[in-house]
Amino acid sequence: MPHALLVTLALTCLLTPSGLGLLVLPFAGLAGADRSQLVGLALLGLVPLAARPPPVSGSSQEPEAAPRHRQAVEVRGRWRAPPHVDPFLELADRRVAVRLASDLDPPRPGQAIVARGIAEPGRPLRLVDIVERGAISGAWIDRWSQVCDRRLARLLPPDQRGLVGALVLGRRAELPFEVREAARATGTMHLFALSGLHVGLIAGFLEGLAGFMGTRSRLLRLALLAPFVALAGARPSLLRATTGWCVASLAAHRGRSSRSLPRLATVALLVFAWDPGLAHDLSAQLSFVAVAGLLSVAALFSGRLSLWFAPCGAFLATAPLIAETFGRVQPWGLLVTPLLIPLVSGILTLGLVCIVAGPCFSVFDGLAGPALSVLADLLADTLWWSAQLVPPPVWPAPLPVSGLVGSLAVVAALATLAHCRPHPSGDAASAALQKWTQ
């Protein structure tokens, strides 16, 4: 069976809800799939079934007048505040969601405490008194996140911390409203989602660090990359890019060369097997569909043309899903994105050294702070002017099929064209593109 068709069927099995992707098995058999390929497609089709929520029994409505029974409780645990997660108490056998009274300050992450609070059914435990007991231990990712917060506060004024924090630490909730609206108007919101660009920069930084230390160990680079993924919240696009980088590194270590689209299918299998619920996550769907379209179009061209036209594949592949979800698409984002990538890359590079690395390079704060501030202003201004100049988004008519099916159809068409290309592209430009996307 052609690789392009196998990848398309694999993505269909993974991303189609309720196990309907199993319907591709007869088609795969007619297309010449062998027994192992059919078994693999069947297993992929069962993944969405494992992610389906269980049916809710009984009435779904709770009486509004039902009394809430309050109870005073005392608990002993360790205070946790991981990035992108609401604070909680870590007990010996479970986690307890909590909220603090207005006159209480949160303890330090990893601090063992004795807390008294009020428990109500269906609500987080409301803490009214906290007594610190014992030393701080564990919670290293929480404390690292707080170090990054202090570095942001030291280097940048308040109006720029949200933009830099979104690009470096993945905190999109803190992105300023004006920047968010300008990114939506220009179709460049994807630049604020940690993905292949971020992993490529970090992997390049770690390769330089490993060379400086006199080692080429891929295990060392993975050990340094994994904490950043945890710090950034392990978003679907970041998981996809990191897993792809690991698969590519493993193939290179074993002296094997893998085609980009089958490698992407392998990454999808690993990610969705780790968390089957991601098969229904919009950001995960957009991430995999965009990269599949990008790599398919890149394979149609040689040399630097693959770098210039590859983003068109990502736009075409995600357009049906974006149009169904948001009701609009912005083609002019293809022209605005290249203007912003140098500024985004500069902020990422400085952020990795001066924010993520903590105070290790604080000797450069006098230069890094003003440089980050200038880049953040330039990025915000470029986004604002681009939003004023580009035409309004396109509001397409609804498709007769779901947006996901439409995106998969576009990926299938692009992958088929790439497979039928008379001379495959194995040049340095295509290899660089695969490195930065996966």
- Which has the minimum average pLDDT: 24-28, 275-279, 354-358? 24-28
Percent of all residues in the chain with a pLDDT value above 70, rounded to a whole number: 77
Give dist(CA 159, CA 170) in Å, integer.
17
Residue 1 has pLDDT above 90, yes or no: no
Q: Say what the pLDDT of residue 4 is.
A: 65
When pLDDT is averaged across residues 144-158 and rounded to a whole number, the result is 90
Residue 432 has pLDDT above 70, yes or no: no
Which of the 8 DSSP states describes residue 275?
-
Find which of 63-72, 187-196, 211-220 is predicted with most confidence, using mean pLDDT.
Answer: 187-196
More confident call, 233 vs 102: 102
Contact 355, 144 (CB under 8 A): no
User: Long-range contact list for 378-384, CB < 8 A, 24+ apart?
Assistant: 378/343, 379/163, 379/340, 379/343, 379/344, 379/347, 380/163, 380/176, 380/178, 380/179, 380/182, 382/339, 382/340, 382/343, 383/179, 383/182, 383/183, 383/186, 383/188, 383/340, 384/178, 384/182
When pLDDT is averaged across residues 91-101 and rounded to a whole number, the result is 86
Inter-CA distances, 234 with 195, 196, 271, 303, Å: 10, 13, 11, 33
Q: Say what the pLDDT of residue 425 is.
A: 46
Q: Say what the pLDDT of residue 383 is.
A: 94
More confident call, 402 vs 220: 402
Q: Could you report the per-residue pLDDT of 374-383, keeping only the tens digit for each?
A: 999 999 999 9
Per-residue confidence at 57, pLDDT binned at 50, 70, 90? Answer: very low
Residues of the chain with CATH 2.40.50.140: 71-137
Structure tokens that stand for 239 in this block = 């998981």
* pLDDT averaged over every residue in the chain: 78
Q: Could you report the per-residue pLDDT of 291-336, keeping only the tens digit for each?
A: 888 888 888 876 677 777 888 888 998 999 999 988 889 899 999 9
When pLDDT is averaged across residues 350-372 and rounded to a whole number, the result is 87
What is the Cα 208 distance to its own chain's centre?
24
Give the residue carrying structure tokens 């949200």.
162
Global confidence as pTM: 0.74
- Which has the minimum average pLDDT: 83-92, 152-161, 420-429? 420-429
Nearest to 300 by CA among 288, 318, 289, 312: 312
More confident call, 173 vs 28: 173
Q: Say which CATH class 71-137 falls into.
A: mainly beta
Structure tokens that stand for 282 in this block = 């919009």
More confident call, 333 vs 262: 333
When pLDDT is averaged across residues 38-54 and rounded to a whole number, the result is 63
Give dist(CA 202, CA 176) in Å, integer.
25
Q: Say what the pLDDT of residue 281 is.
A: 81
Q: Could you report the per-residue pLDDT of 12-22, keeping only the tens digit for each?
A: 776 666 566 66
Q: Say what the pLDDT of residue 59 is.
A: 41
Residue 188 has pLDDT above 80, yes or no: yes
